[in-house]
Structure 1
Amino acid sequence: MTVRTLEQVAKEALADPDRFWGRQAENLVWHRKWDRVLDWNPPFARWFAGGLLNASINCLDRHMGSDTKNKAAMIWESESGESRTLTYFQLYRYVNKFANALKDLGVKKGDRVTIYMPMVPELPVAMLACARLGATHSVVFSGFSSQALVDRINDAKSKVIVTADGGFRKGRLVDLKKVVDESLSSTPSVEHVVVLKRAGNAVKSGPKDVWWHEAIERASAYCEPEMVESTHPLFILYTSGTTGKPKGVMHGTGGYLTHLYATAKWVFDFKKTDVFFCTADIGWVTGHSYMVYAPLMHGLTEIMYDGAPDHPAPDRHWAVAEKHGATILYTTPTALRMYMKYGDAIPNSFDLSSLRLLGTVGEPINPEVWMWYFKTIGKERCPIVDTWWQTETGGIMLSACTGIDFVPMKPGSATFPVPGVDAAVVDEEGKTVAPGTKGYLVVKRPWPGMLLSLWGDDEKYKKTYWSRFEGMYYPGDYALADSDGYLWLLGRADDVLKVAGHRLGTMELESAFVSHRAIAEAAVAGRPDATKGEAIIAFLVPKEGVEKSDALRKEVVEHIRKTVGPIASPDEVYFVGKLPKTRSGKIMRRLLKSIASGDRIGDITTLEDGAAIDEVKQAYDELKKTLR
């Protein structure tokens, strides 16, 4: 077999993209092959037009005639230590039965089903059951409030809600059924609510309610899969903007699955013996793509963890990885920064020798955190794949590709575009900038995992992603390509600070703060300044045992002056115990900017444990007092 370098594969992909992506699509199970690889009517792409397939067949049925049938598909563990394992056959039967249960409730091809569940195996079961019927699933993160749920149900016009009586987060009950009940008077499209018994809490039973276990008992063991067009919407996933209603990102079936299958193999070099531990919540796209669809298509064993990374102790990822023999760990820089704060002793107390590959997702990783991950967790023997992508891109766009070629690692860089992705860094006019020059990340041509559109709003899709630079997809990120072609993400473009005429990315500033010996986490925000345009405000979480003092504040400021330059000196430095984050691990810089500027905080439904809105508001009142 001829071994090709990443550069060779990438050149081949861009030279003849139809041929290249057509070969990747052959990895899927098709009921009918496509007529054309791509119909491109900018900015709308129809991948593998004319093809028919089913996502659940590609995740489950394809394994029923092989040794994978009786292999563990999913190892689930809760923060309390409760554990379950489902083989591929058991998962296949479970999905078939629940698909029939949904069919009995009138769900059919083209219907939308909202899934509002805790991180339990029944969540991917519900997703795959929808896919089996050709229904479009819309998973809503289980920390959202009733109003956030109402907005998403009404936009999708969902026919059924699948939920649970409750879930648990940091030992506390999250009353999901109560949130659903509060939403029903405002969601006229909902005909039925399927309720899983998970927490055992008392719930009200209404006329639309159906117990999961009773529906399953009545259902037959096989459901004939509905063949759908390659462009048929597999799911809608809502992303929150800083203002306005959430955007319903709509992904198709054939193109999306092709992109996932290929990128999972290229980036993680999936092997049949792997135990893949992705720590993402399925309420976000990483959970959809690399916890549900990609690992199951490849026949892997995956770990699904239901709980916070630091409860009941700040060791959950290491304990779960050791217990179940994880070979790949895919987590967030935010979680790693949190773990760094507690030092090396905790991870060093676990046997992590089963790990062969480490990955990060969610936001750029600070070089200092990268080195800690590499040395303390990987013991300098595990490569790190730092992946960049979005809900809208469907799958990984920038990353090292260990399944193709090992290239030198650069701590903090997302490395190169994956094969078939034509990415560049451009200036305000859309022209490619010279190496080492900061600019805007763009994608110059379509790729199979790209969103079909925004649900019910083609104009907003065009305006949001395709209007900034003509003919190019603009993800909204600030970036730089170095002299070797490695790409560095510098933060969201709307988070770039303009200080006395200089453009400074939040990522580069935060990395400089974290490189200080005493700082575990950092978030930077800008505040309007009459003289400089914007003033830099820094929120820093010191490492365990570090005393917060004016002396440390002065030391940190001097450190920034030396590492970045005097222009980057923060006007104010606040030491805090924790930073506001979403449960997917992203720091909510918008809230910090509001606090720094004295503005209204606004929507906080994406905050971790956001279901307890009153509690979150109280926490932010306390945070504001701390920052005064």
Structure 2
Amino acid sequence: MEKAPHLPTYAAAHAASLADSSAFWAGQARQLHWFRPPPEPVLSQEETTGFYRWFRGGQLNTAYLCLDYHVAHGRGEQTALIYDSPVTSTVRRYSYRELLDLTARFAGGLRGLGVAQGDRVIIYMPNMPEAVVAMLACARLGAVHSVVFGGFAPHELAVRIDDARPQVIVCASAGMEFDRPIPYKPLVDAAIAQATYQPAHVVVLQREFVTAELQPGRDLDFRELLQADPVEAVPLDATDPLYILYTSGTTGKPKGVVRDHGGHAVALKYSMSAIYGLRPGETIFTGSDIGWAVGHTYIVYGPLLHGCTSVLFEGKPVRTPDAGTFWRLVADHKVSIVSTAPTAIRAIKKEDPNGLLARQYDLSTLRYLFLAGERCDPATYHWAEQVLGVPVVDHWWQTESGWPMAASLVGLAEMPPARAGSAGHPVPGYDVQILDEAGLPVPANTTGLVAVKLPLPPGGLATLWQDDARCQRSYFATFPGYYLAGDGGYRDEEGYVFIMGRIDDVMNVAGHRLSTGQMEELLAAHPAVAECAVLGIADELRGQRPVGLVVLKDGQTIAEDTLERELVQTIRAKIGAVACFRQVLIVKRLPKTRSGKILRKTMRQLADGDAFAVPSTIDDPLILDEIRERLVGRGIGIAFETPPQFLPGGEGL
């Protein structure tokens, strides 16, 4: 798409956002309707925590901006949401007016259950319109929603119930996995039984293919709440919390990232035009789940804030019914932008390597394919570019940031083109730097720790739910004045950002951030296991997948296949099938530093065939050879014709 000449250049926009961030974002805030505009300067800092806050003193409501505003300004009959569900053979369209009516009525139903501003509501549903209605209804009331991905096991849901302490849980009776229903209500009941905190009500959307049993006095039918009188949007402070979204921590205890109303709305409104180049009225399809940050941001809030049409897809990129499903969506709904994870494209490529299915559909409306959630390998990048005939844009962001930190912003003029292997350039508002372990900037093309100089722009995490201290410790304490992203990477001479992977013990499995520490805790609980390590190794389809290495207790003779079967079942029961945990190897010992630190990253690099530095503090380098032989023997590691490249000195990243 040819850019309009009046658009600012990328260089000018990024420079202005760093030179006077308050003035830059005050200008963007004027693109929204405020019940009470924020006073300038729009950036402030809390005295007690030191955390930065945006638009303090301003009042607005995210649901109002997503729905009421558009109905009042002529978009009432425009399609807001297209629900396309090949797993249930359903396609439904909702206008902005219809979505507003459903949201206002469900908000009235929640209010009738006692839900008020500041109360929490957990939403445990697949991608379906009622889930979007529930999210927006919470925002309308000022209640704080927390969407939990439907694939998580009861234990994971119970942990989130105890942390968020919701007044209400909203769930579906079931989800659909390809052509097999997955009952959700028994999982919710099991989670409540495990949780210490007990919600007052469970609201259940009954689906045609599975009817859930309702507990009298506690459980209600979703459709009953839709009979309530509609309620108006509540004016909320810009700094009031909009939602909690849990992301894995290295300890296994999830971190509840808190997003506020004001900064979130301003950032997403800006991103829709600047990053994605979308105009109001155009259509975006985001191939994600509402349980992820990507789903929150670019299935629900971003498109609706901008007056776009959003495609809500219940299905998979393959086998629903085939690997052409995404391309059918583009053709059927005249999609301009597709955003999904590299995992989805790799799955499509695996089943349709020559891209023949894409040729069956009219993709003339498609302008760009955006990829996020994990680093996209160049082979997948080039394959998608050739098959679709449009530019592919890999971009980088996190649950914590809430929107992209690096991208090729197709809505700005004179933007350097996207480049395979790179996440692009820092988005306006983000001062992305690569630091060494002392917190000092490193030269171009030198791998280091990816950090963002404070303040973060609007839309980033406000704090962690009920835990300012953990927020400070997790993200800001390592390098004062910086947000530590937890990723390693580098920038080249032209300023392109390359994100190379996690530096902690959190892995990315098909877009799910999962804690290796949590898995290790479960493996170590087995009576035969003395110690263990879980590695997130490279996987062509999922980005990463976990492999367990265990050392048996003395005298234990359990067979490896028996132990593997038992441990796989444990992970599946406690975390869920989303972990993709399938392989366990018994090893004689694990490589460690002399201080006892298990060298997980070194083993992961060994399995992936990456060059790495043998830590100078390793207690016995020969253990690495033993680990490599075990990995290769099980078909996991790289079978090197020559030994892997050991780099001299230091532990590296």
- The one-letter code of the counterpart of 2:468 is D
2:555: which partner in 1? none
> Against the structure 1 CA distance between its residues 151 and 199, is the aligned structure 2 distance closer, same or farther, given a 3 Å change threshold?
farther
Q: Which of 6, 11, 14 is the equivalent residue of 2:15?
A: 11
Measured after TM superposition, the shift of residue 79 of structure 1 is 2.5
Corresponding residue SS for 2:223: helix
> Against the structure 1 CA distance between its residues 162 and 252, is the aligned structure 2 distance closer, same or farther, given a 3 Å change threshold?
same
Asked whether the 8 Å contact 1:267–1:385 carries over to 2, the reply is no
Q: Indicate yes or no: 2:221 matched with 1:211.
A: yes
- The one-letter code of the counterpart of 2:460 is M
> Against the structure 1 CA distance between its residues 4 and 540, is the aligned structure 2 distance closer, same or farther, given a 3 Å change threshold?
closer
Measured after TM superposition, the shift of residue 419 of structure 1 is 0.9
2:547: which partner in 1? 592
Whole-Å separation in 2 of the counterparts to 1:390 and 1:199: 36
- For 1:514-557, what per-residue CA distance to the aligned partner results, in whole angstroms no more than 9, with x for missing partners? xxxxxxxxxxxxxxxxxxxx9x997665xxxxxxxxxxxxxxxx
- The one-letter code of the counterpart of 2:30 is E
1:124: which partner in 2? 132
> Against the structure 1 CA distance between its residues 331 and 457, is the aligned structure 2 distance closer, same or farther, given a 3 Å change threshold?
same
1:418: which partner in 2? 427
- The one-letter code of the counterpart of 1:48 is F
What does 1:256-267 correspond to in 2, within 5 Å? Answer: 256-267=264-275
Asked whether the 8 Å contact 1:309–1:316 carries over to 2, the reply is yes
Whole-Å separation in 1 of the counterparts to 2:376 and 2:180: 30
Corresponding residue SS for 2:408: coil
- For 1:481-519, what per-residue CA distance to the aligned partner results, in whole angstroms no more than 9, with x for missing partners? 1010111111112379xxxxxxxxx99xxxxxxxxxxxx
Corresponding residue SS for 1:179: helix
Asked whether the 8 Å contact 1:168–1:199 carries over to 2, the reply is no
Measured after TM superposition, the shift of residue 188 of structure 1 is 3.4
- The one-letter code of the counterpart of 1:358 is L
Q: Which of 477, 485, 488 is the equivalent residue of 2:487?
A: 477
What does 1:344-493 correspond to in 2, within 5 Å? Answer: 344=354, 345-377=356-388, 379=389, 382-405=390-413, 406-446=415-455, 447-493=457-503
- The one-letter code of the counterpart of 2:54 is W
What does 1:129-278 correspond to in 2, within 5 Å? Answer: 129-185=137-193, 186-206=195-215, 207-217=217-227, 219-220=228-229, 222-278=230-286
1:327: which partner in 2? 336
Range 75-84 or range 150-159, more displaced: 75-84
> Against the structure 1 CA distance between its residues 327 and 609, is the aligned structure 2 distance closer, same or farther, given a 3 Å change threshold?
farther
- For 1:362-421, what per-residue CA distance to the aligned partner results, in whole angstroms no more than 9, with x for missing partners? 0111112111111112x1xx2322211111111111101111124222112111111111
Measured after TM superposition, the shift of residue 203 of structure 1 is 2.1
Measured after TM superposition, the shift of residue 65 of structure 1 is 2.1
Measured after TM superposition, the shift of residue 151 of structure 1 is 0.7
- The one-letter code of the counterpart of 2:143 is A
Range 318-327 or range 255-264, more displaced: 318-327
> Against the structure 1 CA distance between its residues 88 and 362, is the aligned structure 2 distance closer, same or farther, given a 3 Å change threshold?
same
- For 1:232-264, what per-residue CA distance to the aligned partner results, in whole angstroms no more than 9, with x for missing partners? 010000112343211111111101111111122
Whole-Å separation in 1 of the counterparts to 2:425 and 2:397: 12
Corresponding residue SS for 1:67: coil
> Against the structure 1 CA distance between its residues 245 and 604, is the aligned structure 2 distance closer, same or farther, given a 3 Å change threshold?
farther
Asked whether the 8 Å contact 2:537–2:544 carries over to 1, the reply is no
> Against the structure 1 CA distance between its residues 490 and 596, is the aligned structure 2 distance closer, same or farther, given a 3 Å change threshold?
farther
Corresponding residue SS for 2:403: coil
- The one-letter code of the counterpart of 1:304 is L
1:21: which partner in 2? 25
Corresponding residue SS for 1:12: helix
> Against the structure 1 CA distance between its residues 29 and 606, is the aligned structure 2 distance closer, same or farther, given a 3 Å change threshold?
farther
Asked whether the 8 Å contact 2:126–2:289 carries over to 1, the reply is no
Whole-Å separation in 2 of the counterparts to 1:209 and 1:409: 50
Measured after TM superposition, the shift of residue 275 of structure 1 is 1.3
Whole-Å separation in 2 of the counterparts to 1:487 and 1:429: 21
Range 601-610 or range 32-41, more displaced: 601-610
> Against the structure 1 CA distance between its residues 257 and 469, is the aligned structure 2 distance closer, same or farther, given a 3 Å change threshold?
same
- The one-letter code of the counterpart of 2:130 is E
TM-score normalised per structure 2:
0.78
Asked whether the 8 Å contact 1:393–1:449 carries over to 2, the reply is yes
Range 597-606 or range 237-246, more displaced: 597-606
Whole-Å separation in 2 of the counterparts to 1:424 and 1:167: 42
- For 1:76-99, what per-residue CA distance to the aligned partner results, in whole angstroms no more than 9, with x for missing partners? 111333111101000000000000
1:565: which partner in 2? none
Measured after TM superposition, the shift of residue 460 of structure 1 is 0.8
TM-score normalised per structure 1:
0.81
Measured after TM superposition, the shift of residue 323 of structure 1 is 1.9
1:31: which partner in 2? 35
Asked whether the 8 Å contact 1:148–1:605 carries over to 2, the reply is no
Asked whether the 8 Å contact 1:168–1:174 carries over to 2, the reply is yes
> Against the structure 1 CA distance between its residues 79 and 469, is the aligned structure 2 distance closer, same or farther, given a 3 Å change threshold?
same
Asked whether the 8 Å contact 1:478–1:492 carries over to 2, the reply is yes
> Against the structure 1 CA distance between its residues 3 and 230, is the aligned structure 2 distance closer, same or farther, given a 3 Å change threshold?
closer
- The one-letter code of the counterpart of 2:421 is G
Asked whether the 8 Å contact 2:68–2:100 carries over to 1, the reply is yes
- The one-letter code of the counterpart of 1:334 is T
Corresponding residue SS for 2:547: helix
1:575: which partner in 2? none
Whole-Å separation in 2 of the counterparts to 1:275 and 1:605: 39
2:349: which partner in 1? 340
Range 241-250 or range 108-117, more displaced: 241-250
Whole-Å separation in 2 of the counterparts to 1:37 and 1:539: 43
- The one-letter code of the counterpart of 2:452 is V
Whole-Å separation in 1 of the counterparts to 2:471 and 2:167: 25
RMSD of the alignment, in Å?
Answer: 2.8
Asked whether the 8 Å contact 2:538–2:544 carries over to 1, the reply is no
2:598: which partner in 1? none
Residue correspondences, number: 539
Measured after TM superposition, the shift of residue 355 of structure 1 is 0.6
Corresponding residue SS for 1:473: strand
Whole-Å separation in 2 of the counterparts to 1:109 and 1:485: 44
Measured after TM superposition, the shift of residue 284 of structure 1 is 0.5
Asked whether the 8 Å contact 1:194–1:210 carries over to 2, the reply is yes
Measured after TM superposition, the shift of residue 182 of structure 1 is 1.6
- The one-letter code of the counterpart of 1:111 is D
Asked whether the 8 Å contact 1:28–1:258 carries over to 2, the reply is yes
Asked whether the 8 Å contact 2:395–2:407 carries over to 1, the reply is yes
1:99: which partner in 2? 107
Range 129-138 or range 404-413, more displaced: 404-413
Unaligned stretches of 5+ residues in structure 1: 497-505, 508-533, 542-578
- The one-letter code of the counterpart of 1:349 is Q
- The one-letter code of the counterpart of 2:481 is G
Asked whether the 8 Å contact 1:169–1:609 carries over to 2, the reply is no
Whole-Å separation in 2 of the counterparts to 1:457 and 1:494: 20
Corresponding residue SS for 1:250: strand
Whole-Å separation in 1 of the counterparts to 2:478 and 2:420: 30
1:61: which partner in 2? 68
Asked whether the 8 Å contact 2:549–2:584 carries over to 1, the reply is no
Whole-Å separation in 1 of the counterparts to 2:476 and 2:280: 39
Whole-Å separation in 1 of the counterparts to 2:103 and 2:264: 21
